[in-house]
Every structure is written in structure tokens, then in C-alpha cells.
């Protein structure tokens, strides 16, 4: 699936390994003079099961203003459209 630059997308990948699964979540962005990697953020989690990884993907969806997806319908690798603005503000 191809997304336009105006669409905000979070990508994820669930990879099985000897200790469970590795979940990687990132938000793609174009490389610029100040951005040397092709993403706004990238996080990696080691989790005990694919089910726990899918539950965490759902938490990212909800935090990004999207609706949760039934875990059984989430593939191991995907693109998720989200709202373009932060859904929470942190005040210090």
C-alpha cells in the first residue's frame, strides 16, 4: 500500500525469536538536512508472545487517536494510519 506524504502512518513489524518476539514500531519521515534517519521515532520491544506484541500495537493505535483493531486481524507486519497531531500533551 502506498501512502501520500499528507497521511500519517505508523509502521510495525513483529519478528519471532528464541525468547518470544521482537516488536519494532516506527513513524516514517523523509530524510532532510537535520533528519539523518528515515523516521520520526523508532522503538524496539522484546515481548514473550505475538499476542502481547499485538496488544502493544493496539496501545499505540489508541494513543495515536485511532481505533483499536482485533488482535487476530493484525498481521505480523503492517502500516497503520493515525491522526497527524499529538493526542496528548505533557506539561512540566
Domain-by-domain residue ranges, the chain? 8-82
Among candidate residues 12, 77, 70, 23, the one with its CA nearest the CA of residue 46? 23
Q: Output the pLDDT for position 48.
A: 97
Closest CA to 25 of 11, 6, 40, 5: 11
CA 38 → CA 6, 14, 34, 64, 76, distances in Å?
Answer: 16, 19, 11, 20, 21
**57 phi, psi to nearest 5 deg:** -60, -45
The number of residues making up the chain comes to 92
pLDDT by residue for the chain (92 residues), tens only, comes to 344 445 678 889 999 999 999 999 998 888 889 888 988 889 999 999 999 999 999 888 777 777 777 776 788 888 776 666 654 444 44
Residues 27, 84: Cα–Cα separation, whole Å:
11
* pTM of the predicted model as reported, rounded to 2 decimal places: 0.74
- The confidence score (pLDDT) of residue 83 equals 61
Amino acid at each position: 500500500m502506498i501512502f501520500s506524504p499528507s497521511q500519517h502512518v505508523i509502521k510495525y513489524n513483529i519478528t519471532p525469536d528464541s525468547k518470544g518476539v521482537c516488536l519494532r514500531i516506527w513513524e516514517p519521515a523523509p530524510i532532510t538536512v537535520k533528519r539523518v534517519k528515515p523516521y520520526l521515532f523508532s522503538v524496539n520491544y522484546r515481548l514473550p508472545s505475538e499476542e502481547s506484541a499485538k496488544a502493544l500495537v493496539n496501545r499505540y493505535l489508541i494513543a495515536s487517536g485511532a481505533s483499536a483493531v482485533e488482535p487476530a486481524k493484525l498481521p505480523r507486519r503492517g502500516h497503520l494510519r493515525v491522526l497527524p497531531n499529538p493526542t496528548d500533551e505533557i506539561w512540566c
